[in-house]
C-alpha cells in the first residue's frame, strides 16, 4: 500500500455494511427543537479506488425526533453506474455520460428534493430514509454536471450552481433554478482551460467564480485525480451580476492559489464584495507537499478593479460553514474544523468575522470531528443554534453525532448520540428540518 492509499485505512477506511439501528443511546439531553434529519455524504470505495475523491458515495443519516435519537442509517447512493467498475464515463460518440456518478460529495435539499451531489455528474435524488430515487436533471432541462456546492439564496429561495468539465467550450456554465425547482437561467462562462472549479460564492447582487490554476491533465487521467497545478495558468475572480447574467463575467486577478471551499460572501454598502474562503498556496503541485488551508478574506472593489487579500488566521482549517439563512449576506459567525495540534487534539473553531475573535471546542486526543453543520434554534438568522458533527473515536473505533451549543462552543457537548458503527471520514452534509 502506498502513501496515497490513506483513504483505505484507519478512520478513512470504507465500511462494508449498510446498517439500520433504532433508539440510539444519548449522553446529555437532545433539545426537542432538534427534530429532523442530519445527513452527511462521503466516499466509501467498494474496491481499491486510486484516490479518495473517487470512492462510491455513502450517506450517513441520523433522525432526531423531539428529544430522542430515533434511528441511524447508512446507504450507498445507487447510481446508474454503481455496479459497473468502468463507470461508463463517456458515450460511444465521446460525449460525457452524466448519469455515471459516484455521488459522494454533498447532500442538499431544494424544492422538496434531497440531492446527492458530485461535481462531475448530474444530481441523484434520495429519500429521507436514504433510499436512491434516481437521477435528477430538472425535468430534462439540465444537460451538464452540477457543482457539489450549490447556493440557496435565503431571500428568493433560488438555487444557484454551475457545471464544469466540458472538453469543448464553454468549459463552465452558470445555472439558476427558481424556488419551485424550475431551471430558469443558463449562462456560459468564458475560461481558457479545463480548470477545477470546486466552489463559488454568492451575494445578494453577485455571483463570484474562481478561475484558479488547477487544471485538467490528460496524462493523469488513469490515476484517479486528473488535475494538476499549473504555474502558467494564472488566478482570477469573476463577477457576474445576478440581475443581468447575460452581460457576462468581469475578471479580476489574484495571487496564484487554490480554494476548495467558500465560507460566505456579501456586498457592502459602498459597493465592495467581501469573500471569506479557505485558501491554499497551491494544490496538486508535483513534488510539493499539500499545504495547509487557512481562512482568508478577499475584498473586491469593482470600481477600482482591485482585490485586497488578507490572511485572517495562521492555523489550518477546512469545511467552513455558516448559518445558511445568511448565505450571501453579512454573516457574523463562521465555523471551521481545524487540524490536529502538537498534542494531537483537533478543534472546531467559531470565528467572529466582525471582530476577529475566535473561540473553539477542543476534542480529546484521538477524536476526529468532521464538518459541522449549523442548525438554528429559533427564527433569528445568526442567533442561537447548534453545531452537529460526526466525531470518530479512535480508542473505540466508533463514531458519535456530537451536538454543540453554537454560542458556547468551548462548553461540553449538549448531547452525544452514540452510533452503532464507525462513520468514515467524509465531506459535506446538511440538517433537514421537519416539514
d(CA 158, CA 378): 22
Residue 1 has pLDDT above 60, yes or no: no
DSSP states along 275-296: EEEEEES-SS-TTSPPPPPEEE
| pLDDT above 70 as % of the chain | 94
In a 13 Å sphere around the CA of 216, the CA atoms on its Cβ side amount to 16
Lowest mean pLDDT among 48-52, 96-100, 127-131, 336-340: 48-52
Give CA separation, 293 vs 104, 339, 368, in Å.
22, 10, 17
Least-confidence region, from 74-88, 398-412, 414-428: 74-88
- Collapsed DSSP state (helix, strand, coil) of residue 81: coil
* pLDDT over 70 at 364, yes or no: yes
Task: State pLDDT tens for residues 183-237.
Answer: 999 999 999 999 999 999 999 999 999 999 999 987 765 566 789 999 999 999 9
What pairs with residue 160 in β-bridges? 151, 176
Q: End-to-end alpha-carbon separation of the chain, Å?
A: 47
In 281-434, which ranges are E strands? Answer: 294-301, 306-311, 317-321, 333-338, 347-352, 358-362, 367-369, 373-376, 385-393, 398-405, 415-418, 429-433
Pairing outcome for strands 358-362 and 347-352: antiparallel
Going by pLDDT thresholds of 50, 70 and 90, the confidence category of residue 68 is very high
Q: DSSP 3-state assignment of 432?
A: strand
Radius of gyration, CA atoms only, the chain = 21
> Where is pLDDT greater, at 46 or 350?
350
SS3 label, residue 244:
coil
Q: Tell me the pLDDT tens digit for each residue of 122-142.
A: 999 999 999 999 999 999 999
Assess whether the previous peptide bond of 170 is cis (omega < 30° from 0). yes
| ∠ Cα 187 191 195 (to 5°) | 110
Q: Rounded to the nearest 5°, which phi and psi values hold at 348?
A: -100, 120
Whole-structure pTM value:
0.95
**By three-state DSSP, how is residue 418 classified?**
strand
* Per-residue model confidence (pLDDT) at position 166: 86
Residue 10 sits at φ, ψ, to 5 deg, of 60, -140
The confidence score (pLDDT) of residue 94 equals 62
Condensed to tens digits (0 to 9), the pLDDT of residues 265-318 reads 999 999 999 999 999 999 999 989 999 999 999 999 999 999 999 999 999 999
Look over the chain and give the mean of its residue pLDDT values, rounded to a whole number.
94
Amino acid at each position: 500500500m502506498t502513501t496515497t492509499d490513506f483513504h483505505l485505512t484507519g478512520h478513512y477506511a470504507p465500511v462494508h455494511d449498510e446498517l439500520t439501528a433504532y433508539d440510539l443511546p444519548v449522553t446529555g439531553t437532545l433539545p426537542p427543537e432538534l427534530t429532523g434529519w442530519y445527513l452527511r455524504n462521503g466516499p466509501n470505495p467498494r474496491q481499491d479506488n486510486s484516490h479518495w475523491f473517487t470512492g462510491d458515495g455513502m450517506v450517513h443519516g441520523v433522525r432526531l425526533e423531539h428529544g430522542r435519537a430515533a434511528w441511524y442509517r447508512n446507504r450507498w447512493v445507487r447510481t446508474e453506474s454503481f455496479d459497473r467498475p468502468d463507470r461508463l464515463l463517456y458515450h460511444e460518440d465521446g460525449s460525457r455520460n452524466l448519469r455515471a456518478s459516484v455521488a459522494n460529495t454533498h447532500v442538499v435539499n431544494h424544492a422538496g428534493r434531497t440531492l446527492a451531489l458530485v461535481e462531475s455528474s448530474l444530481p441523484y435524488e434520495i429519500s429521507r430514509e436514504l433510499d436512491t430515487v434516481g437521477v435528477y436533471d430538472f425535468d430534462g432541462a439540465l444537460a451538464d454536471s452540477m457543482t457539489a456546492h450549490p447556493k440557496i439564496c435565503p431571500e428568493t429561495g433560488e438555487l444557484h450552481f454551475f457545471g464544469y468539465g466540458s472538453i469543448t467550450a464553454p468549459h463552465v456554465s452558470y445555472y439558476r433554478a427558481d424556488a419551485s425547482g424550475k431551471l430558469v437561467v443558463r449562462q456560459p462562462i468564458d475560461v481558457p482551460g479545463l480548470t477545477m472549479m470546486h466552489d463559488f460564492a454568492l451575494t445578494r447582487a453577485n455571483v463570484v467564480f474562481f478561475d484558479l490554476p488547477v487544471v485538467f491533465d490528460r496524462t493523469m487521467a488513469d490515476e484517479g485525480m486528473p488535475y494538476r497545478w499549473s504555474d502558467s495558468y494564472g488566478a482570477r475572480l469573476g463577477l457576474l451580476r445576478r440581475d443581468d447574467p447575460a452581460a457576462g463575467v468581469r475578471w479580476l486577478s489574484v495571487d496564484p492559489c487554490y480554494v476548495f471551499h467558500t465560507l460566505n460572501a456579501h456586498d457592502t454598502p459602498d459597493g465592495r464584495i467581501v469573500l471569506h474562503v479557505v485558501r491554499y498556496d497551491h494544490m496538486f503541485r508535483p513534488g510539493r507537499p499539500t499545504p495547509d488551508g487557512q481562512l482568508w478574506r478577499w475584498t473586491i472593489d469593482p470600481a477600482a478593479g482591485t482585490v485586497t487579500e488578507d490572511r485572517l488566521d495562521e492555523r489550518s482549517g477546512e469545511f467552513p460553514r455558516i448559518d445558511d439563512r445568511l448565505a450571501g449576506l453579512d454573516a457574523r459567525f463562521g465555523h471551521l474544523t481545524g487540524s490536529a495540534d502538537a498534542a494531537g487534539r483537533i478543534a472546531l473553531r467559531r470565528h467572529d468575522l466582525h471582530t476577529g475573535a475566535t473561540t473553539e471546542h477542543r476534542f480529546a486526543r484521538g477524536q476526529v470531528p468532521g464538518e459541522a453543520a449549523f442548525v438554528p434554534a429559533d427564527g433569528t438568522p445568526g442567533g442561537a443554534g447548534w453545531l452537529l458533527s460526526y466525531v470518530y473515536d479512535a480508542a473505540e473505533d466508533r463514531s458519535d453525532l456530537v451536538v454543540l451549543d453554537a454560542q458556547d462552543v468551548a462548553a461540553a457537548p449538549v448531547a452525544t448520540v452514540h452510533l452503532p458503527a464507525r462513520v468514515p471520514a467524509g465531506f459535506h452534509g446538511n440538517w433537514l428540518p421537519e416539514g
